[in-house]
Amino acid sequence: MRVFVTGASGHIASAVIPELLGAGHQVVGLARSDQGAITVENAGAEVVRGDLSDPARLGEFAAGSDGVIHLAFDNSFTDVIAAAASDLAAIEAIGGALEGTHKPFVVTTGTLMLAIANPGKLGTEDEALPGGPRIDSENAAIALASKGVRSSAVRLAPLVHSDLDLHGFAHWIIVAARRHGVSAYVGDGANRWPALNTRDAASLYRLALERAPAGSRLHGVESNGVQFREIAEVVGRHLGFPAQSISAEEAEGHFGFPLSWLVGLDNPISNAITCDVLGWSPNHVGIIEDLELGHYFDLPAA
């Protein structure tokens, strides 16, 4: 397959592109900057230039492909509503270009949406939410199944981790601990956060592209979740700081926006349907073992 990948110079794509190439696919990667283009080219993919601000151009690239994996998203958190609107416009443009072709189109959302809607409830793949930022994007993608597109949505864990991760939430947690001299968790820290190794995410996206049924919601998690306190304890031990409980009110000062809104969420997630439908099974190291390897602490302090 000739696969168009958005966000091709980012963290997830750094594993997805080699995964696709290793399976015999061709990759056309979207890059918005000169440095991004070099990264995509060095990964072995063909480069096209553009970004989410030009959805019509995204549609043109999609029309020339055999399938699309949409990874791009504005994660600067400067304007969450605008970022979600841009994502929705991109999905609508790509989906419109693929209508009636029965080509695969894999989009990306997150499991934390389920925790915000139903805190503490075990999230399953058959659970759909009515609407909201990023939820609208997921629902738009799923609706394409009725228009002749083999669409699927990967709900990624908030902690996608590996030595390929240079800017994700694991780093934010470590930076906050370094800044304050304490590795914090909210309340008793028993709330669960799911995680997924980047390389397991790559195999999930490839399998979704190759075989996910139209209209599938898929869960990119390696387990039901790890207690946030356990994550904080590993971070504290590596940095030589105490792991300490803080209140929800203190979280903003410690973690900053948007992490302070999220760290107290209880987000248990099942991947049972995903594993069954795709024959997928995460087999790389989990988040606790990955933190214990130490590579997250070898990077310079931010």
Q: Is residue 291 part of a domain?
A: yes
- Residue 105 structural domain: 2-159+196-220
Q: What is the pLDDT of residues 201-253, one digit of tens each?
A: 999 999 999 999 999 999 999 988 999 999 999 999 999 999 999 999 999 99
d(CA 248, CA 47): 44
The count of domains in the chain is 2
Q: Is residue 257 part of a domain?
A: yes
d(CA 260, CA 187): 13
Strands (E), the chain: 2-6, 26-31, 46-49, 67-70, 104-110, 150-156, 159-161, 183-186, 192-193, 195-197, 216-220, 226-227, 243-246
Indicate the pLDDT class of residue 77, thresholds 50, 70 and 90.
confident
Cα of first residue to Cα of last residue in the chain, in angstroms, is: 40
Are 86 and 186 contained in the same domain? no
Q: Is residue 279 part of a domain?
A: no
Q: What is the pLDDT of residues 20-53, one digit of tens each?
A: 999 999 999 999 999 999 999 999 999 999 999 9
How far, in Å, are 105, 123, 267 from residue 118 at the CA level? 28, 8, 9
Are 216 and 261 contained in the same domain? no
Are 20 and 86 contained in the same domain? yes
Q: What is the pLDDT of residues 169-212, one digit of tens each?
A: 999 999 999 999 999 999 999 999 999 999 999 999 999 999 99
**Residue 271, CB half-sphere, CA atoms under 13 Å: how many?**
24
d(CA 124, CA 114): 9
Q: Give the number of other Cβ atoms within 10 Å of residue 48's Cβ.
A: 20
* pTM over cut 0.85: yes
Q: What is the pLDDT of residue 75?
A: 82
Any idea what the CATH number is for the domain that residue 180 is in? 3.90.25
DSSP track, 140-209: HHHHGGGGT-EEEEEEE-SEEESTT-SSSHHHHHHHHHHHHTSEEEETTS--EE-EEEHHHHHHHHHHHH
Helix (H) or strand (E) holding 295: none
- The first and second tokens of residue 172, run together, are 């934010």
- Per the prediction, the chain carries an average pLDDT of 96
Q: Is residue 128 part of a domain?
A: yes
Residue 168 bridge partners (DSSP):
none
Q: Is residue 78 part of a domain?
A: yes
Q: What is the percent of the chain where pLDDT is above 70? A: 99
Q: Is residue 278 part of a domain?
A: no
- Average pLDDT score over residue span 256-280: 96
Are 228 and 116 contained in the same domain? no
